[in-house]
Amino acid sequence: MDLNTITSFRRATTRDELALAPGEMILGGGTWLFGVPQPHATGLVDVTTMGWPDLEVTERGLRIGATCTIAALVAFAEARRTDAVAPAEWTATSLFPIAANALLASFKIWNTATVGGNVCRSFSAGAMVSLSAALDGEAVIWSPDGTERRSPVAALMTGNGTNDLARGEVLRAVDLPAHALRSRASMQKIALAELGRSAAVVTGRVDRDGASVFSITAATLTPTILRYPDLPDGGELTRHIAQAQGFYDDPLGSADWRRGVSVELAERIRRELDAGADA
């Protein structure tokens, strides 16, 4: 769509150039930004020219540059990249394509939409929010005063389409820690329509130390994270999910239905992880 209030466009190549003038907005891939009227915006600042590496593998884990596209992330998980290779023990990279598929879009969108744009758009059903929440992802945020702050991606979300980023803050990267990438993990999702936007996305993982983490996204306004010292029994997990806050109504599902399917998906994942423990 034409954004007919826009009178300036800048490609940022240095951190200083990320400073926003009044009316300017950060532009990632533009797949959301160019699809919705932005009457308050008068200028765009493109971050895709910052030269941030898509993916950096270190002993601490994986740094996903905010400008990494969904397609590039999936290619990494499927070992189709030569510049960044996931260690074999990072079994939880199997979640990347599943999460990406929750972003129901054509290959054109996958090749343009950025991980940072998805996190910053902060929809409850944001595919990269689900992935980050499931794997203890931390947002690396550049503040306008030149400092940097970190926040769990899950904690950055404040509602369906809102977040804790202040005006002028820029998401630099999402860091996924190695302990989460080494986990056994499973993700399941459900939508009212076969090709509809996810109404509930549930992920469970068991870390090498036996601790387990279950996360619910899309069904609750902000990510719901449940942590256990080991794999909980079915009754305990069901009770905790049934009591969780934030299930909501919209045309993609009622709050009660979202709560019910989240309980069911979590139990399926719990059984799968339990069975896998013996394998």
Ligand X SMILES: Cc1cc2nc3c(=O)[nH]c(=O)nc-3n(C[C@H](O)[C@H](O)[C@H](O)COP(=O)(O)OP(=O)(O)OC[C@H]3O[C@@H](n4cnc5c(N)ncnc54)[C@H](O)[C@@H]3O)c2cc1C
Helix and strand tally (H, E) in the chain? 9, 14
Segment near ligand X (CB under 6 A); pick from 5-13, 101-109, 206-214, 238-246: 101-109
Burial of 278 (0-12, 13-18, 19+ CB in 10 A): exposed
- Residue list 135-194, contact with ligand X (CB under 6 A): 170-171
Q: Rounded to 5 degrees, what are φ and ψ at 7?
A: -120, -5
- In terms of DSSP H, where are the helices of 122-189? 127-134, 153-156, 178-181
Interacting residue with ligand X among 109, 178, 226, 255 (CB under 6 A): 109
Is residue 160 within 8 A of residue 231, CB to CB? The reply is no
Interacting residue with ligand X among 54, 72, 95, 118 (CB under 6 A): 118
> Tokens 């160019």 — which residue?
34
Instruction: Considering the complex, state which of residue 157 and residue 269 has its C-beta at the smaller distance from ligand X.
Output: 157
47 binds ligand X (CB under 6 A): yes
75 binds ligand X (CB under 6 A): no
Nearest Cα to Cα of residue 110 among 73, 85, 78: 73
Instruction: Considering the complex, state which of residue 33 and residue 74 has its C-beta at the smaller distance from ligand X.
Output: 33
125 binds ligand X (CB under 6 A): yes
The residues binding ligand X (CB under 6 A) are: 25-33, 35, 47, 66, 103-105, 109, 113-114, 116-118, 120-121, 123, 125-127, 170-171, 197
